[in-house]
Structures are given as structure tokens and as C-alpha cells.
Amino acid sequence: MTSHKCDSVIITCIDFRFQPYIDEWLDKQFKAGSYDRISWAGGIKNLDDVMEQIGISHRLHCIKNAFLINHENCGAYGQAETAEKHAQDLKNAAEEIENKFPEVEVKTYYLHLDGTFEQIQALT
Ligand SMILES: [Zn+2]
């Protein structure tokens, strides 16, 4: 198998309502074909599963950046959902990814229902 690399991995929820916003956002900042894209219900909510996928992306494609996108009104979070909960989960996920893959830079976003991407600042 020939080796092939890409720059980034993108992690989003499966929710169809947000895909047009995500597609447009990706088109604006990334070259086509420069990232792996993981769709998982709840985004990074089930972090163990997502970490496994990121690990595969890292091993096969040597990714250097991870973009984590959770969104408002996420059914996978259900009643437990608050903006603060998303922000905390995103920060925890960023920390875990950076601990496991120190060369990977993580950026986290909270995507609002109106399509606005709000960057969530890391704890550091
Ligand atoms: Zn969702």
C-alpha cells in the first residue's frame, strides 16, 4: 500500500441540518481532499469511539490538525445539553487528543443553529 497523507481530521455530528453549514465552512478554509472527515452522532460526545477513529486517521494519514465541531440543539446530548456542557466536553476532548498525539494541534467549535461557528478557547 502506498503511503498517503493529509493535514487534518474534522469531527462533526451526523445531524443533517448542519451539513450545509459545515460543507461551506470546510470549503472556505481547506483545500478539497486535504482532510479526513469523521461524522459521529454527538460529535465528540462518545470520546472513546472518536479517539479510535482519530487514532486511525493519525496512523494512516499522519494528520497534524484536528477540528472538533459540536453543535447547538444536538439530539445525541438530549436533555443534558447546555452550551457549557458542549464547551467543557470540547475542552476535555482537545486535552485528551493533545496528550495522546502531542504533535496534533486541536481547534474546537460550537456550531449554532443559525450556522455561526463559535471557536471555543482551550484551557491553556
Ligand atoms: Zn448532533
Please state the domain extents for the chain.
8-120
Please say whether the dihedral angle defined by the alpha carbons of residues 10, 13, 18 and 20, taken in this order, is positive or negative.
positive
Measured in Å, residue 87 CA sits from the centre of ligand 1 at 14
> How much is the pLDDT for 77?
97
On the question of pLDDT at 123 being above 60, the answer is no
Which three three-digit cell numbers place residue 97? Answer: 487528543
At 1-25, the pLDDT tens digits run 678 999 999 999 999 999 999 999 9
Q: Which of 93, 95, 96 has the alpha carbon at shortest distance from 68? A: 93
Q: How far is the CA of 61 from the centre of ligand 1 (A)?
A: 26
At the topology level of CATH, where does 8-120 sit? Answer: Beta-carbonic Anhydrase; Chain A (3.40.1050)
Render the burial of 12-28: b for 16+ CB within 10 Å, e for the rest: bbebeebeebbeebbee
pLDDT tens column, 55-113: 999 999 999 999 999 999 999 999 989 999 999 999 999 999 999 999 999 999 999 99
Give the three cell numbers for residue 10.
474534522
